[in-house]
Amino acid sequence: MRETLQTVERMTGRTPPGLDNQTEFPAELHSLWRHYTALRRSRPVGIGVSPIPETEIRAYCANRRMRFEHWELEVLQQLDDLDRDKAKKQ
């Protein structure tokens, strides 16, 4: 997204909204973010936004023959909490 906004800035000579004060996403978290965006699609559908079930995380890992470290599971849970809090406010 940042690269797209920077391209718009170069082409127009104006800084688009969203490029100002944008926090740089740590490169170390890119793969974890991709896992999270895949996992969030497995949330149960119902009233409100439910957390991603641990059973879905286990199945996700088993299907990919991978295992999350403890800190990665904590980050996934924090991302899920933030995402659900944001959805509640909308």
Tens digits of per-residue pLDDT, 19-38? 766 667 788 888 999 999 99
Closest CA to 72 of 24, 45, 39: 39
What the block records as the tokens of 69 is 């470290």
Strands, E, within the chain: which ranges? Answer: 45-46, 48-49
User: What is residue 37's predicted lDDT score, i.e. its pLDDT?
Assistant: 93
The per-residue pLDDT for 14 is 80
Contact 9, 19 (CB under 8 A): yes
Identify the pLDDT of residue 22: 61
pTM (two decimals): 0.70
Residue 65 is given by DSSP the state T
pLDDT of residue 2: 67
Positions in the chain short of pLDDT 70:
1-2, 18, 20-23
**What is the C-alpha R_g of the chain?**
17
